[in-house]
Every structure is written in structure tokens, then in C-alpha cells.
Amino acid sequence: MVEAKRLEKSVYAFIVFLMIAAIAFSTLSYISIKTNVNIVRGAISTISGMFSGMFVENMTKILLSLSAIYKIAIAELIILCSGIIASLMALGYITNIYFETRKRTFIDELTGVYNKRALYRILDREIKRAERFKHPLTIIMLDIDFFKVYNDKNGHLAGDLLLKKVAKIIEGKIRDVDSVARFGGEEFAIILPETSHDGALKVGEKIRKAIADAHFPGEEKQPSGNVTVSLGLVTFHGEYKTGKRMLVSADELLYRAKESGRNKLISMYYTR
């Protein structure tokens, strides 16, 4: 919201600057044209004055007019160059704010990973790629066990730090081509394109174990004595669904993992 307001103010300032520059340039151009006209008139008067004895006087007027033209031309050049430089700087600033604003619309502010809006976009793109090249596509839904208990006993600020750390751990266990998004609350979604079911299981287990082994302040107050996560993993290969349906399938397995004791991963492999 703040970035959007900055962008709006910058655009308005840029427009005002262009208007001022255009008015100044137009004014100087008008003066220049008027002076040129005076020179032409002076030239005609000089030619006429050659026969009336006023040649020197008229030539002096022309030289003075030419001097004024040079000064106006230099002023116009300075305004034009300044306008171009300032415009490029302003455009660069506005473009930077635009892309920063656009980026923020797809990033979760707390954890720094993708948000749900970005998740659906990425998932739709990966489904199309998987269908085209007949590659496997894995979705993992991850939920922090007893997160409400952790929040209640350690405070919401500690809960926020827990979410940030979990997000960092997940990012450290996946590839650059993979994606992680905060799906909502304490739940995360992970997309693993072109990953076999067995390979995806190894990634899921690495994430689960890394979080269980990590230290979190106040974790001893958790029912299990440490922070753990439950995961639902679904690999699709040759039988692709919509992004929402794939997420629902992984979410169903996630809740099965929770119901069967937590701190575990339950998976399924869909193929024709």
C-alpha cells in the first residue's frame, strides 16, 4: 500500500516536471522564433538601408539579435539536456518502485517466501509444463504441529520468529527451481517440478527432520518437547488436475498425518 502511494506520487511529480519543462521550452522557443523574425526584418531593412545610408545601424541591430539567439539557444539546450537527464532518472525511479510494488504483491511480508496468490500462478505454470513434457510434479503441504500452543505459551512475536525460521529451513532444503509459499497461518506449500516421487519423499523427509532437529526458543513447552511439522505429499505424473485440486489432495494427506500422530509425512502417487 505504501509502495503504491509512493508510485502514485512519483508519477504525479514526473508529470508536473514535464509540464514545467514543456512550458519553459515553449516560451524560449517562442522568443527564439520572434527574434529570428526580427533578424529577417532587420536583414530586409539593412538591404533597404544600403540605399538610404542606414546600413551600419541596421547591421548593429542584426548582430545584437544574433547574440540574443545564441543565448536563447544555449538556454534551450541546457533545459533540454536537463529535462532528458531528469526524465531518465525519474523513469528509472518510477520503474524501480513499480517492480518493487509488483514483487511485494506476490511475497508474504512476514516470512519473505511467496504468498498464496503467487502459489496459484506458479502452480498453474508448472502444471502446463508438466503436461507438455510429461514430467512428474509434486506438491507438499506442511503444517507446524501445535502452533497455537507455541503462540499461547511463548507469545505472538515468538510465533512470528518461528514462522520465519521454518520458512528459511524449507528454502535451504529445496532447489532454486522449486518454490515455497506461505499458504496461510502456519501452513506452507512446496512445489517440486520435474521431481520423481522417491526424490520428492527424500526432500520432504529432509525438511521434516531439519525442523524437528532445529532449536526454537520455548520449544520445550510443546507437547512433544520440540517443534515438529506434519506433511502431505502428492506426486502427479500423467494425471494432472487443477492447481486447487492438487493442493486439496496434498492437504487431505497432511491432515491424515496430523490425525495419525503428527511429525510425519504421508504421501500418494497419482499416475495413469
By annotation, the residues acting in catalysis are 186
Of the candidates 129, 108, 113, 130, the one whose C-alpha atom is nearest the C-alpha of residue 235 is 130
Cβ atoms of 237 and 127 closer than 8 Å: no
Question: Which one-letter amino acid corresponds to residue 47?
Answer: I
The partner residues of 233 in beta bridges, in order of sequence, read 140, 267
Phi, psi of 114 (to 5 degrees): -65, 155
Phi, psi of 271 (to 5 degrees): -150, 155
Cβ atoms of 188 and 142 closer than 8 Å: yes
Instruction: Return d(Cα 196, Cα 106) in angstroms, integer.
Output: 28
Q: In the chain, helix, strand, coil percent, each to 5?
A: 65, 15, 20
Instruction: Return d(Cα 207, Cα 263) in angstroms, integer.
Output: 11
